[in-house]
């Protein structure tokens, strides 16, 4: 059984930082793509950052480029999202997701392309 468990969410003032963690476990840990998505109330779920686990390639949403950094620790089967210079518009439920295979040699960025999801962790940024 695949499990993705997020942690690290919380409340912070604008300009602050948080680091989210996602621990992956279960049947076969060989995920080609790991990603972070977020969903704010009344909005659709959107991709924040995606990591290709073998090649290390990363993608970021334009809204977080230069502020967020995705990374992985293979020994711990964990993917991180370092979030700096947080803004109130970053407030959302953040989800970790995994995909077993690549699409056209890379990782897709749409939520529907990922088959495994964590339960989410709330991030609230106050002004």
Q: How far apart are CA 81 and CA 91, in angstroms?
A: 14
The residue whose two tokens read 């003032």 is: 13
* List of the chain residues with pLDDT < 70: 27-29
β-bridge mates for residue 37, sequence order: 47, 95
The pLDDT tens digits for 58-93 are 999 999 999 999 999 988 889 999 999 999 999 999
Supply 75's token pair.
Answer: 């020994």
Supply 17's token pair.
Answer: 């930082």
What pLDDT does 27 receive? 54
Integer angstrom CA distances of residue 119 from 15, 99, 127? 26, 16, 26
């Amino acid at each position: 059984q695949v499990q993705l468990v997020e942690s690290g969410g919380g409340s912070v003032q604008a300009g602050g930082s948080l680091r989210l963690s996602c621990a992956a476990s279960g049947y076969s840990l060989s995920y080609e793509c790991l990603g972070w998505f977020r969903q704010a109330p009344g909005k659709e779920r959107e991709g924040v950052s995606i990591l290709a686990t073998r090649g290390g390639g990363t993608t970021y949403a334009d809204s977080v480029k230069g502020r967020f950094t995705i990374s992985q620790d293979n020994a711990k089967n964990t993917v991180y999202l370092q979030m700096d210079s947080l803004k109130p518009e970053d407030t959302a439920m953040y989800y970790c997701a995994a995909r077993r295979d690549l699409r056209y040699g890379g990782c897709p960025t749409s939520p529907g392309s990922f088959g495994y999801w964590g339960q989410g962790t709330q991030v609230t940024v106050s002004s």
